[in-house]
């Protein structure tokens, strides 16, 4: 068991106790002044000691005590007042109140003498002061000046040794696994058909982790404000998890590339770091191994291609070019698997125009390279307007066939996401 003794001591009274307690806790025990103390996380039992100043521990110890969370602690205190006085009781109570979710295993209080300067100030107080020097005060201070004495040091050492011993011998409590949930974070869509993709991924997540309750978050503010049925924001979902006592969650991110939206998700997740342990998945296009497995899943759901047919996937991309290299890597990986497979993006690179002369055969099958068949699939890809990819391909003499299903509807892709955690 790792023990730590941390203290503040202006005139050395509490330090004497600290040394006696540290010696009693054994040679491995670390003794440190609060200003230089190591982090509390690394210790099983922490003894915290202070002299009382204006009714409180000194600032350095107060700050350290606030860092102690869910710890086994002991408190020791020296003060000028009688150790069994109401004042002593209040000072100890105030100090204990600074600790968050800690268990106090032992307490020790004794008097501690004043410095000569402070003593002189006390003696010079006017007769009408509530703290005026009188016979009662003189007797109390005369006693305080004898402490901490050898008996105080021995009693404190014995009590802390016994408390540590008891803790050491306590049967280990079976560690309770943290309450865990799973969350699917998606951009969201106002197109009703998009729901099929999200549901398929959720079903795969439920199948993979039937023991974890599942929540959905919609990251797009625009979608949430337009669509009353949209899932809550990611922060809203994470806040709910904290309120409901969850300590951990698998966060499956339903984006294909690590772009702007993904980084937003990561920073929102990081903000919940102190309360929720989050395992955040990476988008498939963000690393080569992920990309290969993902493309395998995409192609598993693609019906066989006729010899005179090629496939053109429509990716989303990013107008500012932030995901260009990820989509370009995906396009070249696809072409390496089959030269009749092409990928272009609505925004950024690779774009549609340079792909057009690469197409071979009579027919082009247009497939969304997006989780959902939303607005881009319906309009930019398969729309009847002159700028849609379908219209432009037909104008160039190709026959077209448009697949209006998001990749999420492909069970292999849904499983790919679910199996990331």
Site residues for ligand FMN per CB under 6 A: 9-14, 51-55, 78-81, 87, 112-115, 118
Secondary structure of residue 253 in the 3-state scheme: strand
Is the CB of 61 or the CB of 238 nearer to ligand FMN? 61
Is the CB of 1 or the CB of 56 nearer to ligand FMN? 56
Q: How far apart are CA 293 and CA 286, in angstroms?
A: 12
Is the CB of 51 or the CB of 406 nearer to ligand FMN? 51
Q: How far apart are CA 2 and CA 39, in angstroms?
A: 12
Least Å distance between CB 122 and ligand FMN? 9
Element (H, E) at 150: helix 150-169
Of the candidates 87, 147, 316, 405, the residue annotated as catalytic is 316
Least Å distance between CB 5 and ligand FMN? 13
Residue carrying the six token digits 């000028």: 80
DSSP category for residue 69: B
Is the CB of 87 or the CB of 137 nearer to ligand FMN? 87
Secondary structure of residue 370 in the 3-state scheme: coil
Q: How far apart are CA 251 and CA 220, in angstroms?
A: 16
Q: How far apart are CA 190 and CA 184, in angstroms?
A: 17
Least Å distance between CB 81 and ligand FMN? 4
Is the Cα dihedral 49, 55, 61, 65 positive or negative?
Answer: positive
Q: How far apart are CA 159 and CA 24, in angstroms?
A: 9
Least Å distance between CB 23 and ligand FMN? 17
Instruction: State how far Cα 229 lies from the chain centre.
Output: 28
Dig out the tokens for 215 from the structure.
Answer: 């929540």
Least Å distance between CB 157 and ligand FMN? 17
Is the CB of 24 or the CB of 81 nearer to ligand FMN? 81
Q: How far apart are CA 21 and CA 102, in angstroms?
A: 20
Is the CB of 6 or the CB of 291 nearer to ligand FMN? 6
Q: Are 64 and 99 in contact (CB under 8 A)?
A: no
**Residue of 12, 8, 11, 9 whose CA lies nearest to 115:** 11
Is the CB of 74 or the CB of 284 nearer to ligand FMN? 74
- Sheet-wide strand order for 309-315: 341-345, 309-315, 363-368, 399-402
Least Å distance between CB 141 and ligand FMN? 9
Dig out the tokens for 325 from the structure.
Answer: 């290299």
Q: Is 316 a catalytic residue?
A: yes
- Measured in degrees and rounded to the nearest 5, phi and psi for residue 156 equal -60, -45
Least Å distance between CB 140 and ligand FMN? 9
Dig out the tokens for 397 from the structure.
Answer: 């003499």
Q: How far apart are CA 272 and CA 8, in angstroms?
A: 33
Residues in the chain: 421
Residues belonging to the active site: 316
């Amino acid at each position: 068991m790792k023990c730590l003794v941390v203290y503040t001591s202006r005139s050395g009274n509490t330090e004497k106790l600290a040394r006696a307690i540290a010696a009693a806790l054994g040679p491995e025990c670390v003794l440190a002044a609060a200003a230089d103390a190591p982090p509390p996380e690394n210790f099983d039992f922490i003894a915290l000691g202070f002299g009382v100043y204006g009714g409180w521990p000194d600032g350095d110890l107060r700050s350290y005590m606030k860092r102690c969370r869910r710890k086994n602690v002991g408190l020791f205190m020296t003060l000028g007042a009688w150790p069994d006085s109401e004042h002593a009781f209040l000072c100890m109570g105030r100090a204990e109140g600074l600790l968050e979710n800690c268990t106090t295993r032992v307490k020790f209080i004794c008097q501690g003498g004043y410095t000569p300067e402070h003593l002189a100030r006390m003696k010079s107080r006017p007769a009408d002061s509530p703290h005026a020097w009188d016979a009662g005060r003189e007797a109390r201070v005369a006693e305080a000046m004898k402490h901490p004495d050898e008996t105080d040091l021995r009693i404190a050492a014995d009590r802390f040794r016994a408390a540590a011993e008891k803790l050491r011998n306590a049967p280990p409590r079976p560690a309770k696994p943290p309450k865990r949930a799973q969350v699917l974070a998606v951009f969201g869509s106002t197109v009703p058909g998009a729901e099929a993709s999200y549901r398929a991924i959720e079903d795969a997540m439920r199948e993979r982790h039937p023991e974890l309750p599942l929540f959905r978050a919609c990251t797009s503010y625009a979608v949430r404000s337009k669509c009353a049925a949209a899932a809550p924001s990611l922060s809203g979902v994470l806040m709910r998890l904290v309120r409901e006592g969850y300590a951990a969650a698998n966060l499956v991110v339903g984006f294909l590339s690590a772009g702007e939206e993904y980084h937003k998700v990561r920073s929102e997740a990081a903000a919940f770091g102190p309360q929720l342990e989050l395992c955040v998945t990476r988008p498939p296009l963000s690393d080569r191994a992920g990309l290969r497995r993902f493309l395998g899943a995409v192609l598993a759901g693609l019906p066989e291609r006729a010899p005179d047919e090629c496939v053109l996937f429509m990716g989303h991309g990013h107008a500012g070019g932030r995901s260009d290299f990820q989509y370009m890597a995906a396009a070249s990986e696809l072409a390496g698997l089959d030269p009749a497979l092409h990928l272009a993006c609505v925004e950024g690179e690779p774009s549609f125009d340079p792909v057009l002369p690469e197409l071979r055969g009579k027919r082009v099958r247009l497939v969304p390279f997006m989780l959902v068949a939303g607005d881009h699939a319906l309009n930019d890809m398969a729309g009847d307007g002159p700028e849609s990819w379908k219209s432009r391909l037909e104008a160039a003499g190709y026959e077209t066939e448009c697949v209006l299903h998001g990749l999420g509807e492909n069970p292999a892709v849904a499983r790919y996401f679910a199996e990331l955690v």
